[in-house]
Structure 1
Amino acid sequence: MRLRSLALAILLATPADAGIQSPEPVHGPIRVIDGDTVRFASGEIVRIYNIDAPETRRSRCPAEKRLGETATAFLKALLKNGSVEISRCEPATGRCQDRYRRTLASLSTAQHGDVGEALIASGLALPWQAGKAAHDARAHHWCATK
């Protein structure tokens, strides 16, 4: 009974958005690494958490490489003008870093809104799903694209 009361107290004391930070402005230039990863002037590397763009460096076929280069150029254009805001950590899980120690975050601009959603809407990214089956499906999707 005491354990249940303790668990309830901890749950009620933990904010629903624990680990998630409010949007904050990004200062300095942003270097686009690929269609879903950027580097800030501070050196911080950010992986846009809600998308998966086609690969440019380890692409599995020529079509994926071309689409990856297009996604990279599109992301550069989205971030080029105006202010950019970052919201660190995944809202659904509260995770703040991926296995490569990149910051997981969403990026948004006043002009385009959530850049991950803009990439998905343009057909240059897919919604992120974890797991090998999802990874294989993404590879098939990019390589089946003409």
Structure 2
Amino acid sequence: MSAAFSICDGSHRANCVVDGDTFWFEGQKIRIADIDTPELSPPRCEAERIKGEAAKSRLLTLLNAGKFSLAAGFRDEDKYGRKLRTVFRAGNSLGDALIKEGLARSWDGARHGWCQGG
């Protein structure tokens, strides 16, 4: 699969990136299942906003870099109705790439703060 992705804005919800771990693809809202990235809606501090914007920009670059595949895990959707998928390119998780770059953490089932002291 591949598409030309942009940043989501306003009513634009087609092949676009919401934040570092959420994007729209072919009419479905996808939550990357294996990572957690800083919140942007709203960020809890300036450091989280900066890192969150960097993660969003990097995910956009990664998605636009070529073909990828989506793999479902043991849960199809989260409580918000987003499809839970791991994103792969050439057998490598794009989530792992974001983790290696310090823009994401492995998802352990709980949100952890990105601000100093929490």
Q: Is TM-score (shorter-chain normalized) higher than 0.5?
A: yes
Hey, what does 1:54 align to over in structure 2?
38
Aligned 1:67-86 pairs, distance under 5 A: 67-86=51-70
CA distance in 2, matches of 1:71, 1:144: 18
**Residue in structure 2 matched with residue 101 of structure 1 by the alignment:** 81
TM-score between both structures, scaled by the size of structure 1:
0.68
Percent pairwise identity = 37
Query: Which structure 2 residue ranges, 5 or more long, are not aligned?
Result: 6-14
Residues 95/27 of structure 1: CA separation in 2 closer, same or farther (3 Å cut): same
Aligned partner of 2:98 in structure 1 is 119
**1:127 and 1:35 mapped to 2: Cα distance?**
13
The alpha carbon displacement at 1:113 in A equals 2.3
1:98 Cα offset (Å): 0.2
Q: Which has the higher helix share?
A: 1
CA contact (8 A) 2:19 2:56 kept: yes
Aligned residue in 1 for 2:27: 43
Secondary structure, counterpart of 2:77 in structure 1: coil
Moved segments of 4+, more than 6 Å? none
> Relative to structure 1, is the Cα distance of residues 70 and 27 closer, same or farther in structure 2, using a 3 angstrom cutoff?
closer
Residue 107 of structure 2 is matched in structure 1 by 128
SS of the residue corresponding to residue 96 of structure 1 reads: strand
Q: Is the contact made by 2:4 and 2:64 (CA closer than 8 Å) also made in structure 1? A: no
Q: Are 2:2 and 2:64, in contact at CA under 8 Å, matched by a contact in 1?
A: no
Q: For residues 100 and 63 of structure 1, what CA distance do their matches in structure 2 show?
A: 26
Structure 1 segments unaligned to the other structure (5+ residues) = 1-24
More strand by share: 2
Q: Alignment RMSD, CA only?
A: 1.9
User: In structure 1, how many angstroms separate the alpha carbons of the residues matched to 2:4 and 2:50?
Assistant: 29
| Higher Rg of the two aligned structures | 1
